[in-house]
Structures are given as structure tokens and as C-alpha cells.
Structure 1
Amino acid sequence: MVAGMVGCGGNAGGGVQRGASDTTCDGKIDGPTYITVWFHGAPDPRDPSVSERDTLEEQVAAFNRSQREVRVRLVTLPRGDYNRQVRAAAASGSLPDVLDLDGPYLYNYAWSGKLKPLGSCVPQRLLGDLLPSIRGQGTYAGRLWGLGTFDSGLGLYVRPSVLRKVGARLPTDPGDAWSAAEFTDILHRLRRAGYRRPLDLKLNYLSSTPEWAAYGFAPAVWSAGGDLVDRHDYRKADGVMNGSEAVEALTTIQHWVSDGLVDPNRDDAAFVKRRSPISWVGHWLYPSYSEALLGDLAIVPLPDFGRGTVTGMGSWQWGITANTTDGDAAWRFLEFLLQPQQVRRMSTANGGIPATVSVARSSETFGPGGAEHLFLQQLQDGIARPRPQTPAYPAITAAFGTAVREIFAGRPVKPALDAAANRVDEDLDAHQGYPAPEP
């Protein structure tokens, strides 16, 4: 996501520089060429990644049938262990030709020389059709290193019938989001109406999906005017991750939890079983929620903590590794996955927001008037914000995730964030601030 970037020379619009050293693609394939592709799998049949895996297997078979110059061998690794196996392969020099990467982890691999830039591969017409968030997510130090075929977004799923009963208004667009104070008041009204724990924050994700802390709750920090690291040069977290804005935002959410307004959601069903009429989560649950709520469902923006509503973005994306001997062969496969038919096919399978503007706007669910149009609107209108575009991201998400779990368990907010910021700064110091690679 879970799954989707400004900084380090890139921006949400792409800002792609080709650079003299970008020779990944020269327009020729010395075929027939065989390439190996790694993909994150899913051990649980209920996981959306199962549909992604099945669809990708079909796409690989279709690609191999469509031409004779390139043959793809797909390797699916367990999702829960995927990032560890990728790190181990990177350390041993045994990465495949094409790698599936969870969004913000790409920057560390690009910085350490494990990936090849894609600027010489991507045609301008395709670059122009990609969502700005897709271009931004894959950009680091001014160059494009990865591309996804779908993106992500957060919102509040609500039951309009219940909100009407307590006299709560229904926001109509990101500019009309509830303030944090208004949202808190609505939660208390819902409790008085009989909903003991009216809010689902997907607390169960915190133990099963470590990235949920940063993806799910950094937007509250951003909305308050804070951040997880100083994005001017990405060399310091102290004073930012533990700044007053971050403390205020997470204190508000901590109060929701400590006041008993948040369902622990141990069965992952607080919303569909109608215990909680509001669920703070992403696009991937629209199919199951819409089926369970039978028309009593709407998606509204996350609360405004002071500087406007903000949502997360970014998801899994593809990169060409430095191990490949023929970048054009690897790109041939990625270009196939980015064809309109294939983008639409994957979006249908996993519920992700199509990566290209043309496909997204023509979608019945994400296009104008569609039930999930808010997610596309947030990506196109700058409401979505990337997680920090820095090789230090693994350290940032680990430290912030620990802090969020401690805060929701009752630890005072400022000390928890102080400790997290200190851990990030230790990592930054140990790597001399991760100086950007030469262009």
C-alpha cells in the first residue's frame, strides 16, 4: 500500500531528468532474451494480493505468447517475507532482472545502486499519461526508477443513514472535509446514539501490516502541518517528527483511542458488522464494504487537522535491477503491463486506482461520478502526499510505526516521537545523510 512523492529532487509531477548515465535502454533487444521477474505473493486467500498474483500470472502468459524476443520467468515470494528476501538478494548480488517493490522502499535501492533508471526507456506519450502521483512515486534524485500500474488512496468510509440520524453533515469534496474538532464531536454523537466504538482505524493492521502506521496516520501529521523528516535536505528528523504539529495530531487520535471511541477490530469486521459506522482505511476495501452495506455507503475525505485534508498515496511498483543484462528486454515487459488493457485488468483484479489518466477517467468507479472518484481526485489535485522520498525511509517507517503503536497503547505522545526521531537521526548520521547518487 498497502500502498503509494515529493523530495530528493523529484516532485509529484515527475520532474524526470534523463541524464548522460541513463543508458538502461538503447532501443535494441539481443533476443531471444530470458528475464526473471520477482513478485510479492500472499499466503492468505482473502488477501487482495492473491487476485494480483493470479492476474499477473495471466499477464505473463499473455506477454510470452504475444512475441518471441523476450521470455519472462515469474517468481512469486511470500508477501510477509518479501522485503527481507529482496534485501538479502541485494546484499548478495542475486537480484532478478525485474523487481516488484513496495513504493517508498525504492529509494534505498536506487541510492545503493541496485536499480537502473528508466528515463531512457519510457516514451514521452506514456510518461504524459501517467498519474502525477505515479511519476512522483517512482522519482528519486531527479530520475525515474520505478513505475506502478496502480496507485492508492485513503478516505473515511461512512454510513450516510447513520450520520443523518445524528445530524452530521456529509462532506462533498476535499475542500469540505470535517475539521478534527468537528469529527471528534461526531464520534461522541454517534456514541450517544448507541454506537459504543464508532470509529474503525484498522488497529488490527498495526500488527499484521507494519507499513499501516506510516501510510495510515502520517496524513494526520501532514494535515496538521508536520512531517516525518525535514524534506529540505532529508538530513534531520528531530524537531519535525516530534514537532508540535505531529504531537498535536497524534494526541488527538490518541484521545479517540483512550476515550474508547475506536474499535479494536480484532475480527477485522468492525465496519461490515456495523459496530462502527466510520472506517478510516483505503481504496482496497471498497468492494467488500459496498457489498456488505448494500447502498448505505459513502467515501469522504480524512479529517482536516488544521492545514487541509491530506491522504496517503503510493503502492507496489516495478523496477529494473542493475543485474539485468538487457534493459530493453526488461522494459518490453513493463511496457506491456502499462498498456491500457493490462492496467484496466489489474485495477479490476485488486481494486487499485489505474496508473494512467486515460484509464482512470474512463473507469466507472474512479471516473467522474463514480463511487470512488474521490480517490482519483485526491491523486490529481495534490491532496495526496508521498511518504518521504529518501533512502532513509525504511528507518523512518520503522521508527514512526513503533511510536504510533506505543502512542495508541497509551504512552505519552512527545516522548514516543522523541525516541522515534532520535532513531531516524542515528540512521541518517550513520549514512552521512544518504548523499544522492551522481547523475
Structure 2
Amino acid sequence: MTRAAGPRRGTPRTAGRPGPARPARRAPWAFVLCAALLLAGCEEGGGGEKGTRRGSDATCDGRIDAPAQITMWYHQPSARGELEAVRAQVRAFNTAQDDVTVRLVRHPKGDHDDLVREAADAGELPDLLDFDAPKLFSHAWAGDLRPIDSCVPKSLRADLLPSVLEQGTYRGRLWGLGTFDSGLGLYVRPSVLRKAGVRIPKGIADAWTADEFTGILGKLRALGHERPLDLQMPWAGTEWGTYGFAPVLWSAGGDLIERSTYRTADGVLNGPRSVEALTTLQGWAKAGYVDANKDFEAFQKGRTPVSWTGHWCYRRYTEAHPGDVAIVPLPDFGTGSATGMGSWQWGIPAGTADGDAVWRFLEFLLRPDEILRMTEVNGAIPATTAAMERTDAFAEGGRGRLYIEQLRSGTARPRPQTPAYPAITEAFSRAFVKIMRGGAVRPALDEAVRAVDKDLADHGHYPPTGP
């Protein structure tokens, strides 16, 4: 935590509403972290003073200034047991060796992204922290992180899912790695589909077309399911709105931003293909096919035999309908089925003096046993083949194998790899909610384009050199 405090010129703030750079706020964050470290606010790890560290060495040079002590944050997870799994990993690592001691600092209350931005402005980030994958790019651009290319051995790179590496890459450098990835598709009740006379896709190339899917919803209604589709609408205005439904644009031939230059969203986010695809989704809502799912149990209770959601629902869905749950690709809106990827990744802040000490712990987290310790709790996709093949759901022949095929085939795509992503996701999720509530599609997307392009202009289109 040695990076000097001070204003960060052009650093992305609340998406879509840039303004003058915030002044540094070192004192509050220094108090939070010093209180955590010095007044027994750390959850795990031993005591002792930090040794002298080299502030200018490479992220990983193969040497550790042992005994080293590193601090870490972990976001407030939504999955039950996830934080307990992290605590157990810290204890296991500290017990297994004496060179590095990890101290898990209690996360201050508040939004994780806001806390990270504020701590970065104050120069008070810990030695290790995690990001929701696409939020990593703005911190890499702003100089908050150290690249970790020099840390990752070739053998590990070869074992990692390509999507994990892709989502952690910005401008050709690797800035983050996750121990798991995400899966997105349609959960369906095969018994109900067969009763309705609906074919069940066998794989990615066999996905329903959007028109076919519209017809399927009508058949399911005729069977007695008044609102047969769950889109997880209570979460539409959050990151779910972008993660879950940007694939609709991709499948249609649109996108959230023009990716060859990352300088505008105009003509892409509001282009005719994007408009047509979202008009189709709006048509499902207008026809009354979409369950509001206010109780979050539309699929479990049998109201909806189709749920558009991710890996995190696997356990409760299969428990609710044993032997009667399948995962099929999202509909094809014109150019083939597309889906999302990317989940929480670990990054090493720029102020961390001993990157090798931090990497020692990250390497431990990427062991198969530790990956599985986490994914058995949160249901996510193991980041390595070695771990994946030890699971029932994701190994060859498993019910969740489609997720692996999507992540390896290119069907899964990363959200835009640009520091403008916070502005993009806020603008798109806001537009998506308006559209699904009946608002005119093109004007909602035009408004989103203006918000994204304003953020790009206000930050000089995020030049490669950073702020």
C-alpha cells in the first residue's frame, strides 16, 4: 500500500456522470485499514510487522522477501458459504507454509466498486483484491493494478479456460485471474417441453431461433403455463441486465460498443440489428409471456418451465426438479447463439511491493482442491481443466457441460474490454429496463448511446497511457 495519494485525472467514476477528479481522501482510508490491521480488525492470519519491500521491482521476479505479510479484500458475496470458503482457504494457506502470511481484512460496508475506487484514490488499496471481471479494465487503465503476466507459468496458462485469460486481459497484458468462470443459458423442464411437442436442442449449433422460441412460448401457454418465461427481471437494472442480455445483441449482429476502436457506441448499440433483437424481447413482455418472478421461485414452483439465467441457479433448480432439468443454448437471433462469460477475478494493486508473495497465494487458490472448495459452494465453472474434470456437472457428459462448450468454442463472449465499461453497463441496463416496461426501443438505445459516448469523450476516449 505504498502508492502515493492524489487526484487521478480522468479516472472513471459513477458511470455516465463524469466530473472533476475527486481529491484524495487518504485519512479515512488510512484509518479504515490501519484500524483493521493494528486493532485486530483482520479476520485471519498471524501478527508481525511487514518487512521492507522493494517498491520498484517487477510484479513477479521469482523472489519473496520472506517472511512476507499481505492483506486482502474480498467482495461481499451473494452465495451462501462463499466467504466462509475464502476464510478456510486463507487458514489452509497460512498453515501450509511460513514464507507468506495472508490477512483477510474485514470489508468496509458499502458498494464494492465504490470502495475500491475510493481506496485507490487515497492510495490505500490492500495487496490483493477482487473485481467483477469487466470492472477490472478501468482500474488497469487508471494505474491501480500491476500486470501479472510475469507471474503465471506456461503450464497453468495451458490448463486455464481460455475465457478466464481473455476476460483478464486488457491491451495485451494480463491484469487479473479468476478461480472460476460463469455460465449462461436456458434452464428448461424436458418433461414439460415434450408434453408441449417442443424439440430440445442437443447443443450450440442446434439452438432454437428467436422466432421458434416465440412460438414455443405460445405452446407452453396453451399447455397451461400462462407466463412460461423467467428472465430474472427483478435484477434487470443491475449488472444482470447487461450480462444476461448483451448476448441478444451479439447473436443478432449488434454490440454494446464498436469494438475495433472502442470510440463510440453509435450505430452499434442503437443499430438496426440491436433494435430488432430487443424489439423481439419486448414483444415477449407485451404478450405477457414473462413472469415477474417477484418471489424468485418462478422456475422452482413450476410456473415457468423456461428460465434465462446462469450457473448460480443450478443447485436449487435441480433440487426442485430432480432429473427434470436441462440446460440449452440461448436463442439464435440471426448469427448463431451467443452467451456471456466472465466472473470475479483477483488483481494485484499497484502499491503492492512484493508481487511474488501475492502470487504465491493466488497460485494456491488455483490448485484444483481450492478451486473446487469454492465452486462447490457457488456453483460456478472451475477455471482449470484439472478441476473441471473432477466435477459431476461440468465433466464430459455432465448436465452443465454446455457451459464448458460455450466457453471454449467462442460462443461465450467477453463484455467490452474497455475502461468505459462502467458507463456502458449502467446505460444499457437502464435502457433494457425501459424497453421491457414498454418504452420505445430505438429512443431508449439512442439515450444509452449518448451516455456512453459522453463518458468516452469526457475521458479522451481512454488513451493507452492512462489518466
| TM-score w.r.t. length of structure 1 | 0.92
- 2-structure distance, mates of 1:303, 1:22: 49
Residue of structure 2 equivalent to 1:165? 195
Query: Alignment partner for residue 223 of structure 2, among 168, 171, 193?
Result: 193
Q: CA RMSD in A?
A: 1.3
Residue of structure 1 equivalent to 2:37? none
Taking the TM superposition and a 5 Å limit, the aligned residue runs for 1:234-313 are 234-313=262-341
- 1-structure distance, mates of 2:345, 2:265: 26
Q: Does 1:371 align with 2:406?
A: no
Answer whether contact 1:95 1:321 (CA < 8 A) is retained. Answer: yes
Give the letter aligned to residue 27 of structure 1: G
Where in structure 2 are there 5+ consecutive unaligned residues?
1-55
- What SS does the aligned partner of 2:262 have? coil
Structure 1 residues 306-360: Cα deviation after superposition (integer angstroms, max 9, x where no partner): 1000110000000000011111111111111011211122111211100012221
Residue of structure 2 equivalent to 1:38? 73
Give the letter aligned to residue 193 of structure 2: L
Shift of the 128–410 alpha-carbon distance from structure 1 to 2, 3 Å rule, reads: same
Shift of the 238–22 alpha-carbon distance from structure 1 to 2, 3 Å rule, reads: farther
Answer whether contact 1:22 1:120 (CA < 8 A) is retained. Answer: no
Distance apart, 1:22 and its partner CA: 8.8
Q: Does 1:176 align with 2:213?
A: no
- What SS does the aligned partner of 2:187 have? strand
Answer whether contact 2:61 2:150 (CA < 8 A) is retained. Answer: yes
Give the letter aligned to residue 210 of structure 2: A
The size of the alignment, in residue pairs, is: 411
- What SS does the aligned partner of 2:72 have? strand
Distance apart, 1:79 and its partner CA: 8.1
Distance apart, 1:418 and its partner CA: 0.1
Residue of structure 2 equivalent to 1:26? 61
Answer whether contact 2:57 2:353 (CA < 8 A) is retained. Answer: no
Residue of structure 1 equivalent to 2:86? 56
- What SS does the aligned partner of 1:84 have? helix
Taking the TM superposition and a 5 Å limit, the aligned residue runs for 1:391-410 are 391-410=419-438
- 1-structure distance, mates of 2:178, 2:465: 23
Structure 1 residues 99-152: Cα deviation after superposition (integer angstroms, max 9, x where no partner): 110000000000000000001111111111110000001000000000000000
Aligned identity (percent) is 58
Residue of structure 2 equivalent to 1:132? 162
Query: Alignment partner for residue 110 of structure 1, among 112, 129, 140?
Result: 140
Where in structure 1 are there 5+ consecutive unaligned residues?
1-20
Give the letter aligned to residue 110 of structure 1: A
Answer whether contact 1:41 1:76 (CA < 8 A) is retained. Answer: no
Residue of structure 1 equivalent to 2:153? 123
Query: Alignment partner for residue 95 of structure 1, among 102, 125, 128?
Result: 125
The higher radius of gyration belongs to: 2
Task: Give 4+ residue runs of structure 1 displaced > 4 Å after superposition.
Answer: none
Q: Does 1:230 align with 2:251?
A: no
Give the letter aligned to residue 454 of structure 2: E
Answer whether contact 1:40 1:79 (CA < 8 A) is retained. Answer: no
Distance apart, 1:78 and its partner CA: 6.6
Distance apart, 1:245 and its partner CA: 1.0
Give the letter aligned to residue 244 of structure 2: G
Give the letter aligned to residue 420 of structure 2: A
